[in-house]
Amino acid sequence: MINRDNWQDVNLYLKYLEKVKQLDEQTIHRRRSMLHHLLQWAGDKPLGLARNIDPTFPVFLLTSRFDGKDKSLSAPTMAATCGTVRRFYDWARMEMPRKYSKVTPSWLDQIRPPRSRGMQSEVHVHEYYTLEEMRKVIALKPVTIREEREQAAMAFVYLSGMRADAFATVPISCVNIEDMTVNQYPSEGVRTKNHKAKQTFLLPIPELINIVQAWDDKVRSLLPNNAMWYAGIRSNGEDLVPIYEANPRRGQDVAEGCELICEKIGIKYRSPHKLRNGHVVYGTKLAKTIEDFKAISQNVMHESMDITQEIYAELSGGDVKKVIEKFKPNDDGTALKMPENALAKLMMQTLKEHPELLDALSKNES
Protein backbone atom coordinates (compact mmCIF):
# COMPACT_ATOMS: atom_id res chain seq x y z
CA MET A 1 0.00 0.00 0.00
CA ILE A 2 1.34 3.44 -0.95
CA ASN A 3 1.63 5.99 1.85
CA ARG A 4 -0.80 8.84 1.13
CA ASP A 5 1.59 11.54 2.38
CA ASN A 6 4.31 10.19 0.11
CA TRP A 7 1.94 10.31 -2.84
CA GLN A 8 1.01 13.92 -2.05
CA ASP A 9 4.66 14.96 -1.73
CA VAL A 10 5.51 13.41 -5.09
CA ASN A 11 2.57 15.19 -6.72
CA LEU A 12 3.64 18.51 -5.20
CA TYR A 13 7.08 17.96 -6.70
CA LEU A 14 5.60 17.19 -10.13
CA LYS A 15 3.53 20.39 -9.94
CA TYR A 16 6.74 22.25 -9.09
CA LEU A 17 8.41 20.80 -12.20
CA GLU A 18 5.41 21.83 -14.28
CA LYS A 19 4.74 25.33 -12.92
CA VAL A 20 8.18 26.53 -11.79
CA LYS A 21 10.65 24.55 -13.90
CA GLN A 22 8.15 24.60 -16.81
CA LEU A 23 9.03 21.12 -18.02
CA ASP A 24 6.93 19.78 -20.87
CA GLU A 25 4.14 17.23 -20.51
CA GLN A 26 6.18 14.29 -21.81
CA THR A 27 9.03 14.98 -19.39
CA ILE A 28 6.58 15.24 -16.48
CA HIS A 29 5.07 11.91 -17.51
CA ARG A 30 8.50 10.23 -17.50
CA ARG A 31 9.36 11.68 -14.09
CA ARG A 32 6.01 10.48 -12.71
CA SER A 33 6.73 6.93 -13.91
CA MET A 34 10.19 6.97 -12.33
CA LEU A 35 8.90 8.29 -9.01
CA HIS A 36 6.25 5.57 -8.97
CA HIS A 37 9.12 3.14 -8.37
CA LEU A 38 10.01 5.21 -5.29
CA LEU A 39 6.43 5.10 -3.98
CA GLN A 40 6.22 1.34 -4.51
CA TRP A 41 9.54 0.82 -2.75
CA ALA A 42 8.58 2.87 0.31
CA GLY A 43 5.13 1.29 0.56
CA ASP A 44 3.42 2.53 3.74
CA LYS A 45 6.65 3.93 5.24
CA PRO A 46 7.28 7.72 5.14
CA LEU A 47 9.77 8.84 2.50
CA GLY A 48 11.42 11.02 5.13
CA LEU A 49 12.51 7.84 6.96
CA ALA A 50 13.51 5.98 3.81
CA ARG A 51 17.08 5.35 4.96
CA ASN A 52 15.71 2.64 7.26
CA ILE A 53 13.97 0.72 4.47
CA ASP A 54 15.41 -2.66 3.49
CA PRO A 55 16.30 -3.48 0.73
CA THR A 56 17.78 -0.21 -0.47
CA PHE A 57 16.16 1.59 -3.37
CA PRO A 58 18.87 0.65 -5.95
CA VAL A 59 18.53 -3.03 -5.00
CA PHE A 60 14.72 -2.75 -5.24
CA LEU A 61 15.08 -1.37 -8.79
CA LEU A 62 16.76 -4.59 -9.93
CA THR A 63 13.41 -6.38 -9.80
CA SER A 64 11.00 -3.48 -10.23
CA ARG A 65 8.95 -3.34 -13.42
CA PHE A 66 5.40 -2.29 -14.24
CA ASP A 67 5.04 -3.94 -17.65
CA GLY A 68 5.17 -7.59 -16.54
CA LYS A 69 8.40 -8.36 -18.40
CA ASP A 70 10.66 -10.90 -16.71
CA LYS A 71 13.89 -8.88 -16.78
CA SER A 72 15.43 -5.98 -14.91
CA LEU A 73 15.32 -2.37 -16.04
CA SER A 74 18.01 -1.25 -18.47
CA ALA A 75 21.11 0.48 -17.13
CA PRO A 76 20.14 3.88 -18.62
CA THR A 77 16.63 3.63 -17.13
CA MET A 78 18.00 2.73 -13.70
CA ALA A 79 20.48 5.63 -13.84
CA ALA A 80 17.76 8.09 -14.89
CA THR A 81 15.38 6.83 -12.18
CA CYS A 82 18.00 7.17 -9.45
CA GLY A 83 18.82 10.67 -10.67
CA THR A 84 15.14 11.65 -10.58
CA VAL A 85 14.78 10.31 -7.03
CA ARG A 86 17.85 12.26 -5.85
CA ARG A 87 16.44 15.47 -7.35
CA PHE A 88 13.07 14.81 -5.65
CA TYR A 89 14.79 14.48 -2.28
CA ASP A 90 16.85 17.63 -2.89
CA TRP A 91 13.61 19.51 -3.47
CA ALA A 92 11.84 17.87 -0.50
CA ARG A 93 14.70 18.71 1.89
CA MET A 94 14.50 22.34 0.80
CA GLU A 95 10.70 22.67 0.85
CA MET A 96 9.94 20.44 3.89
CA PRO A 97 13.13 20.46 5.99
CA ARG A 98 11.58 19.11 9.19
CA LYS A 99 9.77 16.28 7.46
CA TYR A 100 12.90 15.23 5.55
CA SER A 101 15.53 16.12 8.17
CA LYS A 102 16.81 12.53 8.40
CA VAL A 103 17.62 12.43 4.68
CA THR A 104 21.34 13.25 4.55
CA PRO A 105 23.52 14.07 1.53
CA SER A 106 25.67 11.00 2.20
CA TRP A 107 22.60 8.73 2.10
CA LEU A 108 21.34 10.42 -1.08
CA ASP A 109 24.67 9.79 -2.74
CA GLN A 110 24.05 6.05 -2.34
CA ILE A 111 20.97 6.20 -4.57
CA ARG A 112 22.81 4.98 -7.66
CA PRO A 113 22.53 1.77 -9.70
CA PRO A 114 24.66 -1.10 -8.39
CA ARG A 115 28.00 -1.30 -10.22
CA SER A 116 26.95 -4.63 -11.70
CA ARG A 117 24.03 -2.85 -13.42
CA GLY A 118 25.61 0.53 -14.11
CA MET A 119 26.08 2.09 -17.53
CA GLN A 120 29.69 0.89 -17.61
CA SER A 121 28.62 -2.75 -17.23
CA GLU A 122 26.79 -2.91 -20.56
CA VAL A 123 27.91 -2.42 -24.15
CA HIS A 124 25.85 0.40 -25.63
CA VAL A 125 25.57 0.70 -29.40
CA HIS A 126 25.21 4.36 -30.26
CA GLU A 127 22.70 4.39 -33.10
CA TYR A 128 22.36 7.18 -35.64
CA TYR A 129 21.79 7.74 -39.34
CA THR A 130 25.06 8.17 -41.21
CA LEU A 131 25.64 10.57 -44.09
CA GLU A 132 26.00 7.53 -46.37
CA GLU A 133 22.50 6.38 -45.37
CA MET A 134 21.13 9.86 -45.90
CA ARG A 135 22.55 9.81 -49.42
CA LYS A 136 20.53 6.65 -50.03
CA VAL A 137 17.46 8.42 -48.66
CA ILE A 138 17.77 11.36 -51.07
CA ALA A 139 18.63 9.06 -54.00
CA LEU A 140 15.06 7.71 -53.84
CA LYS A 141 12.82 8.83 -56.72
CA PRO A 142 9.48 9.51 -54.96
CA VAL A 143 6.43 7.97 -56.59
CA THR A 144 3.83 9.63 -54.34
CA ILE A 145 3.61 13.01 -52.67
CA ARG A 146 3.84 11.25 -49.31
CA GLU A 147 7.17 9.70 -50.23
CA GLU A 148 8.34 13.15 -51.34
CA ARG A 149 7.25 14.64 -47.99
CA GLU A 150 8.89 11.94 -45.87
CA GLN A 151 12.13 12.11 -47.86
CA ALA A 152 12.29 15.88 -47.32
CA ALA A 153 11.39 15.42 -43.64
CA MET A 154 14.27 13.01 -43.03
CA ALA A 155 16.70 15.36 -44.77
CA PHE A 156 15.41 18.35 -42.80
CA VAL A 157 15.67 16.65 -39.40
CA TYR A 158 19.19 15.43 -40.17
CA LEU A 159 20.28 18.89 -41.30
CA SER A 160 18.62 20.74 -38.40
CA GLY A 161 19.05 18.28 -35.53
CA MET A 162 15.50 19.13 -34.42
CA ARG A 163 13.42 16.87 -32.22
CA ALA A 164 10.65 15.18 -34.22
CA ASP A 165 7.83 16.93 -32.38
CA ALA A 166 9.41 20.35 -32.92
CA PHE A 167 10.00 19.65 -36.61
CA ALA A 168 6.45 18.38 -37.14
CA THR A 169 4.99 21.61 -35.72
CA VAL A 170 7.25 24.25 -37.29
CA PRO A 171 5.31 26.65 -39.56
CA ILE A 172 6.54 27.62 -43.02
CA SER A 173 7.16 31.17 -41.79
CA CYS A 174 9.81 29.88 -39.33
CA VAL A 175 11.90 28.19 -42.04
CA ASN A 176 14.38 30.15 -44.14
CA ILE A 177 16.38 27.86 -46.40
CA GLU A 178 18.26 30.73 -48.02
CA ASP A 179 19.66 31.84 -44.65
CA MET A 180 19.87 28.20 -43.43
CA THR A 181 17.87 29.12 -40.31
CA VAL A 182 14.95 27.64 -38.38
CA ASN A 183 13.12 29.68 -35.75
CA GLN A 184 12.12 27.18 -33.08
CA TYR A 185 9.73 29.55 -31.32
CA PRO A 186 6.96 28.15 -29.07
CA SER A 187 5.14 31.47 -29.60
CA GLU A 188 4.74 30.39 -33.24
CA GLY A 189 3.41 26.97 -32.27
CA VAL A 190 6.69 24.99 -32.37
CA ARG A 191 6.59 22.26 -29.71
CA THR A 192 10.13 22.44 -28.36
CA LYS A 193 11.31 20.59 -25.27
CA ASN A 194 10.54 22.57 -22.12
CA HIS A 195 9.25 25.42 -24.32
CA LYS A 196 12.72 26.71 -25.19
CA ALA A 197 12.94 29.34 -27.92
CA LYS A 198 15.98 29.54 -30.18
CA GLN A 199 17.04 30.24 -33.74
CA THR A 200 18.96 27.22 -35.03
CA PHE A 201 20.81 26.46 -38.23
CA LEU A 202 21.00 23.80 -40.95
CA LEU A 203 24.15 21.86 -41.74
CA PRO A 204 25.65 23.01 -45.08
CA ILE A 205 25.31 19.70 -46.96
CA PRO A 206 24.26 20.77 -50.49
CA GLU A 207 22.84 17.43 -51.68
CA LEU A 208 20.45 17.27 -48.71
CA ILE A 209 19.67 20.99 -48.90
CA ASN A 210 18.49 20.52 -52.49
CA ILE A 211 15.82 18.01 -51.39
CA VAL A 212 14.68 20.28 -48.58
CA GLN A 213 14.61 23.29 -50.91
CA ALA A 214 12.40 21.47 -53.43
CA TRP A 215 9.81 20.65 -50.75
CA ASP A 216 10.07 24.17 -49.34
CA ASP A 217 9.29 25.63 -52.78
CA LYS A 218 6.28 23.33 -53.10
CA VAL A 219 4.65 24.11 -49.74
CA ARG A 220 5.24 27.85 -50.16
CA SER A 221 3.54 27.80 -53.56
CA LEU A 222 0.51 25.85 -52.33
CA LEU A 223 -0.02 26.73 -48.65
CA PRO A 224 -0.32 29.82 -46.41
CA ASN A 225 2.80 30.99 -44.59
CA ASN A 226 1.38 30.08 -41.16
CA ALA A 227 0.65 26.47 -42.17
CA MET A 228 3.05 23.77 -41.03
CA TRP A 229 6.07 22.92 -43.19
CA TYR A 230 5.39 19.20 -42.65
CA ALA A 231 2.10 19.53 -44.50
CA GLY A 232 -0.97 17.35 -44.35
CA ILE A 233 -2.02 15.17 -47.30
CA ARG A 234 -5.61 14.69 -48.45
CA SER A 235 -7.18 11.24 -48.42
CA ASN A 236 -6.80 11.12 -52.22
CA GLY A 237 -3.04 10.95 -51.62
CA GLU A 238 -2.38 13.72 -54.15
CA ASP A 239 -3.11 17.12 -52.61
CA LEU A 240 -1.51 18.96 -49.71
CA VAL A 241 -3.66 20.22 -46.83
CA PRO A 242 -2.66 23.17 -44.62
CA ILE A 243 -2.39 22.27 -40.93
CA TYR A 244 -2.42 25.09 -38.38
CA GLU A 245 -2.85 23.22 -35.09
CA ALA A 246 -0.94 20.02 -34.44
CA ASN A 247 -2.51 16.96 -32.89
CA PRO A 248 -0.52 15.23 -30.10
CA ARG A 249 0.75 12.46 -32.39
CA ARG A 250 2.36 14.56 -35.13
CA GLY A 251 5.78 13.38 -33.99
CA GLN A 252 4.59 9.80 -34.48
CA ASP A 253 3.54 10.68 -38.04
CA VAL A 254 7.17 11.63 -38.73
CA ALA A 255 8.32 8.29 -37.31
CA GLU A 256 5.90 6.36 -39.52
CA GLY A 257 7.09 8.32 -42.56
CA CYS A 258 10.70 7.60 -41.67
CA GLU A 259 9.89 3.89 -41.44
CA LEU A 260 8.21 4.04 -44.86
CA ILE A 261 11.32 5.48 -46.52
CA CYS A 262 13.72 3.08 -44.78
CA GLU A 263 11.69 0.09 -45.94
CA LYS A 264 11.53 1.49 -49.46
CA ILE A 265 15.31 1.91 -49.81
CA GLY A 266 16.30 -1.14 -47.76
CA ILE A 267 18.11 0.35 -44.77
CA LYS A 268 17.53 -0.34 -41.08
CA TYR A 269 14.75 1.76 -39.60
CA ARG A 270 15.65 3.88 -36.61
CA SER A 271 13.50 6.50 -34.92
CA PRO A 272 13.58 10.15 -36.08
CA HIS A 273 15.63 10.91 -32.95
CA LYS A 274 18.46 8.94 -34.56
CA LEU A 275 18.43 11.55 -37.35
CA ARG A 276 19.08 14.13 -34.63
CA ASN A 277 21.86 11.89 -33.32
CA GLY A 278 23.28 11.76 -36.83
CA HIS A 279 23.32 15.56 -36.97
CA VAL A 280 25.37 15.76 -33.78
CA VAL A 281 27.75 12.92 -34.67
CA TYR A 282 28.40 14.46 -38.10
CA GLY A 283 29.16 17.81 -36.46
CA THR A 284 31.35 16.48 -33.65
CA LYS A 285 33.48 14.50 -36.09
CA LEU A 286 34.28 17.73 -37.94
CA ALA A 287 34.70 19.86 -34.81
CA LYS A 288 38.31 20.99 -34.31
CA THR A 289 37.96 23.48 -31.46
CA ILE A 290 35.92 23.88 -28.29
CA GLU A 291 34.06 26.69 -30.09
CA ASP A 292 33.01 24.24 -32.82
CA PHE A 293 31.73 21.77 -30.25
CA LYS A 294 29.88 24.50 -28.35
CA ALA A 295 28.13 25.60 -31.55
CA ILE A 296 26.91 22.05 -32.18
CA SER A 297 25.66 21.77 -28.59
CA GLN A 298 23.78 25.06 -28.79
CA ASN A 299 22.31 24.22 -32.18
CA VAL A 300 20.53 21.17 -30.75
CA MET A 301 19.39 23.32 -27.79
CA HIS A 302 21.20 21.44 -25.06
CA GLU A 303 21.46 23.17 -21.69
CA SER A 304 25.23 22.68 -21.65
CA MET A 305 28.08 21.06 -23.55
CA ASP A 306 28.24 18.44 -20.79
CA ILE A 307 24.96 16.99 -22.05
CA THR A 308 26.24 16.83 -25.63
CA GLN A 309 29.52 15.32 -24.44
CA GLU A 310 27.79 12.70 -22.29
CA ILE A 311 25.34 11.58 -24.95
CA TYR A 312 27.18 11.91 -28.23
CA ALA A 313 30.92 12.42 -27.84
CA GLU A 314 31.92 8.77 -27.30
CA LEU A 315 33.33 7.32 -30.50
CA SER A 316 31.65 4.32 -32.08
CA GLY A 317 33.53 1.03 -32.13
CA GLY A 318 34.28 1.46 -35.82
CA ASP A 319 35.70 4.94 -35.30
CA VAL A 320 37.89 3.78 -32.42
CA LYS A 321 39.23 0.99 -34.64
CA LYS A 322 40.13 3.46 -37.42
CA VAL A 323 42.04 5.68 -34.98
CA ILE A 324 43.87 2.80 -33.27
CA GLU A 325 44.93 1.36 -36.64
CA LYS A 326 46.85 4.59 -37.31
CA PHE A 327 49.21 3.91 -34.38
CA LYS A 328 51.69 1.82 -36.32
CA PRO A 329 55.44 1.79 -35.50
CA ASN A 330 58.04 3.20 -37.84
CA ASP A 331 59.68 0.88 -40.37
CA ASP A 332 62.67 0.40 -38.04
CA GLY A 333 60.39 -0.79 -35.25
CA THR A 334 60.69 2.38 -33.11
CA ALA A 335 57.64 4.09 -31.70
CA LEU A 336 55.79 6.47 -33.97
CA LYS A 337 56.48 10.06 -32.89
CA MET A 338 54.13 12.94 -33.29
CA PRO A 339 55.61 16.01 -35.03
CA GLU A 340 56.60 18.61 -32.43
CA ASN A 341 54.35 21.30 -33.85
CA ALA A 342 51.37 18.93 -33.82
CA LEU A 343 52.12 17.96 -30.21
CA ALA A 344 52.35 21.61 -29.19
CA LYS A 345 49.03 22.38 -30.88
CA LEU A 346 47.40 19.44 -29.13
CA MET A 347 48.74 20.54 -25.73
CA MET A 348 47.54 24.13 -26.25
CA GLN A 349 44.10 22.97 -27.31
CA THR A 350 43.85 20.64 -24.30
CA LEU A 351 44.76 23.46 -21.92
CA LYS A 352 42.19 25.75 -23.52
CA GLU A 353 39.48 23.17 -23.10
CA HIS A 354 40.55 22.16 -19.58
CA PRO A 355 41.99 25.26 -17.82
CA GLU A 356 41.83 23.42 -14.49
CA LEU A 357 44.93 21.50 -15.62
CA LEU A 358 46.96 24.69 -15.27
CA ASP A 359 46.07 24.85 -11.57
CA ALA A 360 47.06 21.23 -11.11
CA LEU A 361 50.40 21.81 -12.82
CA SER A 362 51.08 24.89 -10.67
CA LYS A 363 50.41 22.91 -7.49
CA ASN A 364 52.78 20.13 -8.59
CA GLU A 365 55.56 22.64 -9.29
CA SER A 366 55.16 24.26 -5.89
Q: What is the pLDDT of residues 199-230, one digit of tens each?
A: 999 999 999 999 999 999 999 999 999 999 99
Across all residues in the chain, what is the average pLDDT? Answer: 84
- Given a cut of 80, is residue 271 above it in pLDDT? yes
The continuous run of DSSP H or E covering 359 comes out as: helix 356-365
Neighbouring residues of 25: CB distance < 8 A, sequence distance ≥ 6 = none
Question: Could you give the CA distance from residue 332 to residue 312 in angstroms, rounded to a whole number?
Answer: 39
Over residues 11-18, the mean pLDDT reads 94
pLDDT band for 73, please (50, 70, 90 cuts): confident
The pLDDT value given to residue 363: 46
Mean pLDDT, residues 56-64 taken together: 87
Phi, psi at 184, each rounded to 5°: -90, 80
What pLDDT does residue 117 have?
A: 52
* pLDDT-wise least confident of 92-101, 126-135, 327-336: 327-336
pLDDT at 343 over 50: no
Q: Where are the alpha helices (DSSP H) in 224-355?
A: 250-265, 273-286, 290-299, 305-312, 317-324, 340-353
pTM of the full predicted structure?
Answer: 0.65
- pLDDT confidence band for 66 (50 / 70 / 90): low
